[in-house]
Structure 1
Amino acid sequence: MANHGYGYGGLLCLDMETEEKANRILNLLQNYSQFGFMAVSLGYYETLMSCSGSSTSSGLNNEEKELAGISPGLVRMSVGYVGTLEQKWSQFKKAVSRLQDSDLFNEN
């Protein structure tokens, strides 16, 4: 995704394995590190994120999700035009570091 006048963006997927872990990282990314906003639609100039299995793909049954490669913890992020790559990476690492320090990350 590129717009010479505004900058560049892209899609990023992260499989957190469970919906609970996905919601935890989404919460940290939005509320702790200000990486982006939780939303169902990923079309916006700001960074938007969603847990696909329980949002955009919630109409599919479990077999259809499995065939499409959508795990319960799949997080999709549309990285927006706002901020630098270094800023976004720093915000992302801050949230992941916080998650790694929590008990939830270490649960199986």
Structure 2
Amino acid sequence: MPVVIRSRVRAPIALYDAVHAEVLRRSSGTVEGLVAHIGVPTEEGFEVIEVWESAKAFEYYTETLIGPVVATLSAGHTGPPPETTTEQEQVRGLLIPGASIVI
């Protein structure tokens, strides 16, 4: 069942930029199970909204790619750790015409 994941992160937008660039480098822009990804700046940091084919695909991605990337980029950081709030919901509908995706 497709899910939408919303993560609000209290951290500098530079962290999003660095994580995003490293994930693209490590994955060559292809992440199995990821349907759509949007990253936006907020007053507190940034928000990531993603659609996944399943919660299991998101969990695997977080454990095997995002977790290690964030750990690597956070090594030696002296400020407070990023504060993340994550919500998960079932997708009721999704249409991305240019990619021929309809859920």
- Normalising by structure 1, we get a TM-score of 0.50
Compare relative contact order (CA 8 Å, sep 6+) and give the higher one, 1 or 2.
2
Identical residues among aligned pairs (%): 4
Superposed counterparts of 1:1-108, under 5 Å: 7-33=1-27, 34-35=30-31, 46-53=35-42, 70-71=43-44, 73-81=45-53, 84-93=54-63, 94-103=65-74, 106-108=77-79
* TM-align CA RMSD: 2.9
**What residue is the counterpart of 1:4 in the other structure?**
none
Alpha carbons of structure 1 residues 14 and 80: separation in structure 2 relative to 1, 3 Å: same
Partner Cα distance (2:69, 2:47) in 1: 17
Bigger strand share: 2
In the TM superposition, structure 1's runs of 4+ consecutive aligned residues that sit over 3 Å from their partners are: 28-31, 33-36
Count of equivalent residues: 75
Shift in CA distance, 92/27, structure 1 to aligned 2, threshold 3 Å? farther
The Cα of 1:12 is off from its aligned counterpart by 1.4
Range with bigger deviation, 87-96 or 24-33:
24-33
More helix by proportion, 1 or 2? 1
Q: Can you give the 5+ residue segments of structure 1 that lack an aligned partner in the other structure?
A: 1-6, 37-44, 54-69
C-alpha distance in 2, partners of 1:29/1:90? 14
CA deviation vs aligned residue, 1:18-38 (integer Å, no higher than 9, x gap): 0111112222344424448xx
Contact 2:52 2:58 in 1 (8 A): no
Q: Is the 1:13–1:75 Cα contact (8 Å) retained in structure 2?
A: yes
